Structure 1
């Protein structure tokens, strides 16, 4: 069927629209940096791929504001409820595709039928406002979050060759403690620093946000701090306890990470959480804040503590790197690089590179002596440092993972094989 002959999607019944709230470059609730609206891409599309449907009637996100899913298809709430009960981390939903779950790191099919456009648009209406759907239709990309009550979801909607799609990351309503996550005792020690920079790193889906939420929760219960979080979007929502916590979402409460972090310095914070340090300017402000008596926590997409150091330096020119090394050596508290592996009990466990910035480490950072840093991480158990191989080997000794998992997940499998044979 050609594009011209495709039957149009029937328009929903019209209802009066409420007055639109004032907007600054973007519709309320869009959780991303403000972008200047542009016309949808004019690139050629396959005649098989359905176009995005037109905006629906007005109403609150999550309510029924138009036709529901096609007969035989579940609602989005039903899918999310099942996924939450089964411990699923991500939902992959798209037109002309079967819905898929990510379970223990693998993509699996839950057995739902292939999604049609009407069903997909009904799902959008369950988790996005009309303004957000309109923004998606205009820009073909959207990032945001929605709260179903029993679970929050982080939304990433995008257009594809086969039609519009979205990925939902499930964020548990209950924040797990460090004890429940079986995190090493050194994590609490890191939380007791009053100033400096601590970085939680790892690829997407490695549990960085869960670990950082557990650390913030520990501080929230323990210290009379003022904590400001700057995220895109807000994921775990903390209720103020001993600490006062204020969440800011990029695109909704501030226009840019840089602006919010710079402004936070004038808002009497004890700690600042930066959802992701993406560029040189944000890193500079984070370093400045950490050297002026504040504790700053942030995330980066790197796979090891050593790679985190080199990634930070690569943000700057060769002329700037010398001063950044000095600044980093003075302000750094710790780098925690995290990955997940499958356990023998059907769950997943985190394993870590943990670098604590001791006096010796400071000297090695300034001198670019990364191999020496790695050797200290291997040997200095007193400070709580470890490497991913040592962390994996500990899980193996506890019977939580198999020898095959050790070798598969190890960043240095030859060294891991020697550890398993008792040679290291």
Structure 2
């Protein structure tokens, strides 16, 4: 069928869906209101080359090389005027497949999100480490975005984020933002954190702390007078 990935994304957003699944040998699936269902309007069964065409259309050359080397990839893809999407690409049964999650078009508001008031106090601290933990899909990234938005609206700080991928793009309001994406702007969280300490940050956000080097560097950053947020 002659359609672009942006057409599928538009349909997902129009239906109020949260997730999209693309795989060879099956129709595209949407998750809408928590329920998973096929979308035969985009074909009853995707051929492997059609599946790869849709997926690769979202990737730049570096991302394609990374995927072909590692067989797995996390990135983000934005459609102007529609939404941003978090993209996870992987291989299954010898073909590439993908799961896309539609991200909120607006940065979540701290007060409207219903975040516990203790988080406001933590956001106002000048230094230390704050970890947001929870299972996949529990709202860690959304909570962190709301906290950074609160700081951005109330304080003049230099905020440096290291993410994989960047999900929310922050405008400079009162604070100055620099957002770096693993695989695009830095090779690893550890490398980015080492560099961050020489980039005059007041606040650092680390999207993932899953290895000893990153954790050690994060603790060091918090101990040397920075406010660090992580998951």
Alignment TM-score > 0.5, same fold: yes
Asked whether the 8 Å contact 1:90–1:168 carries over to 2, the reply is: yes
**Cross-structure match for 2:160:** 228
Distance 1:293 1:104 in 2: 43
Aligned-pair CA distance for 1:100: 1.6
Relative to 1, partners in 2 of residues 1:183 and 1:86: Cα closer, same or farther, differing over 3 Å? Answer: farther
Distance 2:37 2:94 in 1: 20
Aligned counterparts, 1:325-336, within 5 A: none
Aligned-pair CA distance for 1:250: 1.2
Asked whether the 8 Å contact 1:175–1:236 carries over to 2, the reply is: yes
Aligned-residue Cα RMSD (Å) equals 1.9
Asked whether the 8 Å contact 2:158–2:175 carries over to 1, the reply is: yes
Distance 1:273 1:129 in 2: 25
Aligned-pair CA distance for 1:116: 1.6
Relative to 1, partners in 2 of residues 1:122 and 1:283: Cα closer, same or farther, differing over 3 Å? Answer: same
Structure 1: runs of 5+ lacking an equivalent: 1-69, 300-424
Question: 2:27 aligned with 1:95, yes or no?
Answer: no
TM-score by length of structure 1 reads 0.51
- Secondary structure of 1:153's counterpart equals strand
- Secondary structure of 1:154's counterpart equals strand
**Cross-structure match for 1:141:** 72
Aligned length: 228
Larger Rg: 1
**Cross-structure match for 1:107:** 36
Distance 1:123 1:193 in 2: 45
Question: 2:99 aligned with 1:170, yes or no?
Answer: no
Distance 2:15 2:134 in 1: 24
Relative to 1, partners in 2 of residues 1:195 and 1:130: Cα closer, same or farther, differing over 3 Å? Answer: closer
Aligned-pair CA distance for 1:245: 0.5
Asked whether the 8 Å contact 1:262–1:285 carries over to 2, the reply is: yes
Distance 2:121 2:70 in 1: 45
Asked whether the 8 Å contact 2:204–2:227 carries over to 1, the reply is: yes
Q: 1:129 aligns with which of 38, 57, 60?
A: 60
**Cross-structure match for 1:184:** 116
Asked whether the 8 Å contact 2:88–2:98 carries over to 1, the reply is: yes
Question: 2:185 aligned with 1:253, yes or no?
Answer: yes
Asked whether the 8 Å contact 2:55–2:97 carries over to 1, the reply is: no
**Cross-structure match for 1:273:** 205
TM-score by length of structure 2 reads 0.90
Distance 1:282 1:136 in 2: 23
Aligned counterparts, 1:204-219, within 5 A: 204-219=136-151
Asked whether the 8 Å contact 1:195–1:294 carries over to 2, the reply is: yes
Distance 2:119 2:14 in 1: 29
Structure 2: runs of 5+ lacking an equivalent: none
Of Structure 1 and Structure 2, the greater strand share is in 2
